Every structure is written in structure tokens, then in C-alpha cells.
Structure 1
Amino acid sequence: MRLSISVFALAGMLAAPAVAEETFPATLAGHAYLPALSLVEPPADAPRDAWISGKFTQGARNEQPMSVMGNTGGNYGAHDTGIALPFIGQPVQGMSGFAMNRAEDGAYYVLTDNGFGSKRNSPDAMLFFHKMMPDFETGTVARRDTIFLSDPDRKVPFRIAYEGTESRYLTGADFDTESIQVIDDEVFIGDEFGPYIIRAGLDGVVREVYATELDGKELHGPDTYSVYVPASAGSDYQVQRSGGYEGMALQPGTGLLWAMLEKPILLEGGETEGPFLRVIAFDPEAGEWTGESGKFQLADGATAIGDFNFIDETRALVIERDNGEGDAAQACAEDATDTSDCYPNPARVKNIVLVDMSDVSEDGFVRRLGHVDLLDIADPDGVALDGMAPAEGPFTFPFFTIEDVVRVDETHILVANDNNLPFSGGRVPGQAAHNEFILLSVPELLSAE
């Protein structure tokens, strides 16, 4: 694929192709979960501030642990989730990306995102990644190690929340870490604020931070440190809030990182360039953008992506999703005023899409080969864990943010959700979602060409 596309001129003028493709079957082959309220101690040299996290989620400071109940918000039924913050310690979740390459012990590298959803409310949420291993025999997930990100060498180009500390650990006020890849002894992390690519050692120490370039121009989001209010969408910043690198795939053979924006780019005046997402190539060895890019076409009803990983040298998996949460079988009636026991905005589009990055149209669109529907998963052997399957019908994965996918072998993929602790549900109204790991048998999808 050798294609470079201007974000400001040609991009917005080309019509996106219609999406019509085969839906392949998926069968549940394993089910495990990490409990919603899973916390980890900060490192011994972290500031005392980090021992109570989530103090600013209500705006004003609140130092009283577990005094404010989590709630899904009005769009999702205003359900209390049963878990209150601030937390004593750091929340292990939500899971926001799988690395393609595994650790030496076979564990998966799993990334935790910025904390509580925004730059402003997450200055005490530490940034880290883990080594995790689901056990589908016991239905549990083991966290084998947690590695905290830090900037002792002052590689971050702006003032960080813990600037004056000796350890200089990074927080959710600095970056929104959403995608991860491991190459030899280094980790590369895609950020949504800049958007940036962060290069670090496997010890979590930052080695470099790369701003985004497309067609020779630097792209910014509204949370980029150099963007000041008032700022104009499309001119001062082109990447939507929470629209940075939700997915970043490592391509075997070339060694390139393909970073995919979560949401469509903004044009002058604030309109989006279309229902598609930019995929931009970065050369980690050279430490620079290659000038290559493409477009991922979203299906009807999809608003964003959740993760992106290659399965071979040209084909890759992409999670695409809408903003819905909860099984449609538990949808609220259209005129319902009491939403305490139902979902007013249920999940409708939750797909794992297979694309061929070597097959690109004249307009720059990457070919979609087909998908599996995460709202229609067969479970003939009753693999689903107790309390996590619909009363009838297929198994569903109806979470707001599904942000982790990776190929396991020639016939299986692993998928997990980000539970936005303590703000998302999805399984049972009034209960915080756990972080579920599902093993899916999808041989037809993985063999599609």
C-alpha cells in the first residue's frame, strides 16, 4: 500500500463507498472476567496523591473514598452501577487495547486508558499497562504484572501533572492511552489527546513522543497542549475529542505501525470529512511518519472503532461500534419514563471486521472482507458464565466500549471490553460491567480473502 492523501483538500470531497459484506458466524469458545472493582497499588515512589484516585470526577475535589456512586448517565438510563469512588488505589480497568505480540510467558499485553474519561477529571489516575492471562477453565483473568508509565528524562513536550516530582509518573491528565504494540524491548502506545505515539521501554520509561503528521501537516486535537480556547474546529484542531488513536496495528513483514483514528477528521467549519476513519503509517525504526495513509469505512450505524490488529502481513481485525449499551432484548419501551430496569440506548452495532490493508481503492478506502456480529454469538455448549448470558437467544457482547481484539490462532480471536469503571453497565441494569474476555471461534472470518 503506497498512498498519501491530503486531509484538508481531497479528503472531504470523495464519497464513501457503501458497505455490503458477508457476516460470518462466531461461536463462544471461552469466557472469563476480571471483576469490575479491581485495584492496584501505586508504586512506592509515586506521590501520595495517587493513593486516592478519582477525586475530581465531580469537578470539585472530593477526598472521601467511595462516597460518590457511579452512574451511567441519562443517555444510558441513569443507572447507578453499585460502585462508588474515589478509589483507594488505582483502577486496573478499563481495558483499552491488546498488543499483537505476547510476553515471553504467553501473557497478553493489555493497556489501561486514561482513567475516568477526560483530561480534566483524571489527574490522579496513573497510566500503565499489564501482562494478563485469561483462564477459560476457571473463568478468571490473572494480572501477572503492571508497568507504570513515567517520564524521568523529560521527553514529554509539555508540563505533566506530576511535573515537580522526582518519579514523574504519567497520569490521565497527560495522555489518554488507547492502543498498544510491543516490539522487542519497546512498547508503542497510541494516545487520543495529541494525538501522539508514545515510545517507551518495557519498564514504562518514556523514550520519545511523536506528534501526528498527515500529508506533511501536523494534526491536533482539542486537548493538544498547544491548542487554546477559543479554538475553531477544523482549523485549530482537526481530530475530534476522544477521536485519536483508539487502534494501532503492527504490520508483520514491514514492521510499520498503522495508527487508526477513532472518529472522522474535522474539516474547516467543524463538519466531518465523512463516515470513515484515517489510518496513518508510522515507521518505528526511523521514528517518523511514512506519508502513507488510507481510510476505513464505517458500517451504517457505527460511530467509532475500538481496536486494530493484524492477523498476517496484509489482513487485520478492526472493532467497529455504535454508542449503544445493553442487550436490545432489554430495551426500554419508546415512551418509557422509568428506565431503571431497561436500556434506552441499547447496543445495535458491535462488529469485528476483517480488512485487507493491501487492497485499496482509488479513493483510498481499505477493502472490508467481512465481519462477525458480537450481538449474535452462538453458544451451543453453554460456555457463557452464569449471570452473563441472555435468558434466551444468542450470546451477546452488548457493551458501550469494546476496545480489545487479537488473533489467538488460525481459528480463534480474543475480545474484551472497556467497562469505563465505574460508569458503564451493559449486562444488568444497575450493575457495573466487569471486564469480560471472550474467546471466539471464527474460522470463516479468519480465512476470508
Structure 2
Amino acid sequence: MLRRVLLSTLALSALMLPASAEEVFRAKLAGHALLPALSLVTPPADAPRDAWMSGKFTGKVPNHNAMSAPGDVGAAYGSHPTGISLPFIGQPVQGMSGFAMNRAGDGSIFTLTDNGFGSKINSPDALLFFHRMKPDFDAGTVGRVETIFLRDPDRKVPFRIAYEGTESRYLTGADFDPESIQYLDGEIWIGEEFGPYIIRAAADGRVLDVYPTRLDGAVLRGPDTPGTVVPALAGRDFRVQRSGGYEGMALQPGTNLLWALLEKPILGEDGKPEGDFLRIMTFDTGKKDWTGESFKFRLSDGATAIGDFNFIDESRALIIERDNGEGDPSLACAEGAGDKTACYPLPARVKKVVLVDTSQRDAEGFIRRIGHIDLMNIEDPDGKALVETAAKRDLTGKFTFPFFTIEDVMRVDDTHILVANDNNLPFSAGRQIGKAADNEFILLEVSDLLNAR
């Protein structure tokens, strides 16, 4: 009896430990594959002519001159050019914004492209689609097996879409911001940020249903939810932050519940974040309704958001946790620096893959953090890295993943996980200053992490 009490006390203590005190596990680079930044796809033949040139609305005025506006990382990140110009002829494959846990029959991975160019306003000509991809770590390449475009021929979307007046009714980044994906019984489930909504679609991209989010019985809205109008009061008219919807949505084996994880803390009535934690709501794919249960994930020091969320067994799951930085910390700009052409004003510092146990929760509903790997400190003794990271330090035998948005993680087998970045084409350059980030897929050997309990 005494032993049971002691074990219970130890378990409770583990749940109460701060995130910064959790165990850090080693990670070794086992494979590296690249999909070039400037990878484009052709729109469907029946898509509106408007969609054959994308990115026309990313500047102050519409631009219809292909590849005429140089991309850069933005003033907050040093205004570094990326070497790629807008608008694009065709649709950019973009960075990956989520991996599905289940694979297609041929072993390819379902992965998702997000809303296009970063906001509802600048993405009305960015078509929405998901892919089946196969990374080849021997060749160092990523094969795009198929791209499937989302469309709404049956008018399931509960608001007016950008291409409302067309027969094909393809969806765009002015309609939704899809950020997470799961594949179940031949159907696609997508976690979305603007609503936030959960979208159910057929494997051919046809929308079957759109579900608004409910927390404690009330509908959750964001500033970009259709129906939210200006002036809107943060915390009252909407509680989900902009770009704070479903960045991660895990499918639980056995139950087929979707664990929908918001990217940022929701707002209290005072309009401020309710705390340093994120909400998780569960959705029953069989009943096609919310279960009414919700849980919490505590962010570690310095983390501002999550990137992806996938189960590895019936209760344990992987969550990407990140800050808003990009670039190696050794190239951080000096305080007050006027010239930022060769430095990173906001370098990458917190880039983690966290292992959690959803079955272990404290009295306040916080799920247990078991430990994590540091994506800024990956071992590479075998020289698997295909590209170098710009740095003012010796990175021999070390690999880093210094990207702003790292949004894909999944279990591969008992010892490996797969991680990929969203390169925000053409607005991110975390690997090299002045060069747009490629879509990088990394295979990591993390047996200690996967075996931890």
C-alpha cells in the first residue's frame, strides 16, 4: 500500500514539474531530403483563370506581372531578400503544414499546404490542396505523388467563398487556412485556423462537411471567422487569436477521436491570453460531433505556438513546440544594430518535438509532458545533412533546424520520426540569409524519446 501511495505521489509530482525541467533526449539525423523552394503545380483545367497566377495580392496594390516583386522575410526579420519573386505562374507547393498519421495504400504520406501567402486578405488566388508525398532519403529528394485540390460542389461551406460564382467552386486561402490533416477510412479530415473549423472531405478533395468549434458548449470564433465584424471586441466577440486555430490535430488510434489543438492561447474576457497553455478539444469522427471534453497543453519557456500533433500509440503523442524565430542564434543581430543585412533580429531558439501522454492529466486538465528533443541540437556524426546552416560557430557533427515554422511530425517506426518545415514561400530564409528556405524533410533516430513513458 505504501509503495502505491509513493508511486502516485511521484506521478503527481511529474505532472507538476515545469516544462523547462523535463528530460531532454538525444536525436540523430538519419536522413535528409529536399523539395526545392520554387516548386509549382498546375491548377486543375476547370479552375478559374484567376488561379493560374497566384500571389497577385501580396503587395499594397494588385500585381499582374509574373515574378516581378522580390520576396523578403519582412521588417521584423531583417528584410532579407529571399531570391524568389511574386506573383507565381501556377500554384506554389509551399511548405508542409501537417502530416497525417495514417499513410495511403502505396505508403505515401498525406501532407498539407496552408492558405497560401499568410493571410485571408492576400490569398484569394491561392488554391487549397493536399498532397501525397514520398521522401527518398537515399536520393535526398521528395517525390510529389499526387496533389488534390479542395472544392465545394455540394455547397457544404456555410459562407460565401471567393470563387462562389464558378461552377467548379475551388476553395482558396480567402476561405480557409488549413493547417493539420488526418486520413481515416478513405476520407480526409482537416484542422483549420480561420474558423476555427474541422473540414471533412472525400479523398478527391470534395468537401463533405464543415464543423464549427465548440468549447464548453459555446462556439469559438476568431477575428477572421465569417460573421465576425468590425468593431469586434477581443475576448468577447472572438476568443481565438489570429493565426491561432488548429495548427495540430491528432487522430487517436482505437477511438478515432480527433484531438484538435489550438496554435495559440485563447483570449479571456479582458482580451488577453488566458495563460501560457493551449486548449485541446476532442471530436468524435463516428458521431461527427464534439465530445464536450477539453484538455490543456502547457507551453515551455520561450515557446509561443505549436506546429503539429500526432499520436504514436493509444495515449502518447508528439507535439512540435516553437518560438517565432528563424536563423542560427550565433548570427543574432547585436542590440540596437542598424545594419541587419547579415544577421537575424529574431534567431531560432525554441524548436522542440515534445512527447506527451494524453492519458495522464492533472486536476486542472493539463496533459503530462514526458520529455523532448531539441531540433537546434541534432547529432549528425555520419554527415547526412545535404545543406549547411549559416552560422558563426562550429557545427561539425551537428545539425540544426532553424526555421520559423516547423509544422510536421509523425512516427515512422519504433526508432524514427519524420519532421518537416513550412517554408512560407517566398517569405522565410532560416537556413541561409538571402536564400528562400526549401521544404526539408528530416528523418530522426529518437529511440529513447519514443520509448519514454
Query: Taking structure 2 as the reference length, what is the TM-score of the superposition?
Result: 0.95
Q: Which residue of 2 aligns with 1:127?
A: 128
Q: Which residue of 1 aligns with 2:109?
A: 108
**Equivalent residues in 2 for 1:147-296, closer than 5 Å:** 147-296=148-297
Q: Which residue of 2 aligns with 1:412?
A: 416
2:402 maps to which of 398, 401, 404: 398
Asked whether 1:48 is paired with 2:52, we answer no
Contact 1:177 1:192 in 2 (8 A): yes
What is the Cα-based RMSD across aligned positions, in Å? Answer: 1.0
Q: Which residue of 2 aligns with 1:426?
A: 430
Letter aligned with residue 428 of structure 1: Q
Q: Matched residues in 2 for 1:324 and 1:17: separation?
A: 26
**Equivalent residues in 2 for 1:20-99, closer than 5 Å:** 20-99=21-100
Letter aligned with residue 70 of structure 1: G
Q: Matched residues in 2 for 1:387 and 1:305: separation?
A: 25
Cα-to-partner distance string for 1:32-51 (whole Å, 9 max, x where unaligned):
11000000000000000000
Q: Which residue of 1 aligns with 2:300?
A: 299
Q: Matched residues in 1 for 2:377 and 2:343: separation?
A: 20
Letter aligned with residue 426 of structure 1: G
Q: Matched residues in 2 for 1:242 and 1:22: separation?
A: 30
Contact 1:232 1:269 in 2 (8 A): no
Q: Which residue of 1 aligns with 2:9?
A: none
1:343 match: secondary structure: coil
Q: Matched residues in 1 for 2:389 and 2:264: separation?
A: 30
Cα-to-partner distance string for 1:93-122 (whole Å, 9 max, x where unaligned):
121000000011111001000000000000
Deviation of 1:387 (Å):
3.3
Deviation of 1:331 (Å):
1.7
Q: Matched residues in 2 for 1:78 and 1:93: separation?
A: 20
Contact 2:32 2:385 in 1 (8 A): yes
**Equivalent residues in 2 for 1:368-383, closer than 5 Å:** 368-383=369-384
Q: Which residue of 2 aligns with 1:4?
A: none
1:445 match: secondary structure: helix
Q: Matched residues in 2 for 1:362 and 1:419: separation?
A: 39
Q: Percent identity?
A: 70
Deviation of 1:333 (Å):
2.1
Q: Which residue of 1 aligns with 2:18?
A: 18
Letter aligned with residue 89 of structure 1: G
Q: Matched residues in 1 for 2:450 and 2:327: separation?
A: 27
Q: Which residue of 2 aligns with 1:335?
A: 336
Q: Matched residues in 2 for 1:311 and 1:21: separation?
A: 19
Contact 1:321 1:349 in 2 (8 A): yes
Q: Which residue of 1 aligns with 2:13?
A: none
Q: Matched residues in 2 for 1:206 and 1:17: separation?
A: 43
Contact 2:390 2:432 in 1 (8 A): no
Deviation of 1:389 (Å):
7.4
2:97 match: secondary structure: strand
Deviation of 1:59 (Å):
3.3
Deviation of 1:388 (Å):
4.7
Deviation of 1:261 (Å):
0.1
Contact 1:320 1:353 in 2 (8 A): yes
Contact 1:94 1:115 in 2 (8 A): no
After TM superposition, the structure 1 stretch with the greater mean CA deviation from structure 2, 333-342 or 239-248, is 333-342
Contact 1:176 1:191 in 2 (8 A): yes
1:269 match: secondary structure: coil
Q: Matched residues in 2 for 1:81 and 1:371: separation?
A: 31
Contact 1:17 1:297 in 2 (8 A): no
Contact 1:256 1:283 in 2 (8 A): yes
1:98 match: secondary structure: coil
Q: Matched residues in 2 for 1:93 and 1:231: separation?
A: 32
Contact 1:59 1:121 in 2 (8 A): no
Letter aligned with residue 205 of structure 1: R
Asked whether 1:440 is paired with 2:441, we answer no
Contact 2:389 2:400 in 1 (8 A): no
Q: Matched residues in 2 for 1:65 and 1:83: separation?
A: 11
Deviation of 1:77 (Å):
1.2
Q: Matched residues in 2 for 1:268 and 1:56: separation?
A: 34
Letter aligned with residue 283 of structure 2: F
1:49 match: secondary structure: helix
Aligned length: 434
Deviation of 1:433 (Å):
0.3
Asked whether 1:141 is paired with 2:133, we answer no
Contact 1:128 1:146 in 2 (8 A): yes
Query: Taking structure 1 as the reference length, what is the TM-score of the superposition?
Result: 0.95
Seen in structure 2, the aligned counterparts of structure 1 residues 213 and 386 have a Cα distance that, compared at 3 Å, is: closer
Q: Matched residues in 2 for 1:296 and 1:112: separation?
A: 25
Cα-to-partner distance string for 1:361-416 (whole Å, 9 max, x where unaligned):
00110000000000000000000014357662221000000000000000000000
Cα-to-partner distance string for 1:177-232 (whole Å, 9 max, x where unaligned):
00000001100000000000000000000000000001111000000101100000
Deviation of 1:427 (Å):
0.6
Deviation of 1:17 (Å):
6.4
Q: Matched residues in 1 for 2:124 and 2:286: separation?
A: 32
Q: Matched residues in 1 for 2:386 and 2:339: separation?
A: 29
Q: Matched residues in 2 for 1:280 and 1:17: separation?
A: 23
What stretches of structure 2 of length at least 5 have no aligned partner? Answer: 1-15
What stretches of structure 1 of length at least 5 have no aligned partner? Answer: 1-15
After TM superposition, the structure 1 stretch with the greater mean CA deviation from structure 2, 308-317 or 393-402, is 393-402
Letter aligned with residue 18 of structure 1: P
Deviation of 1:338 (Å):
1.2
1:75 match: secondary structure: helix
Deviation of 1:332 (Å):
1.9
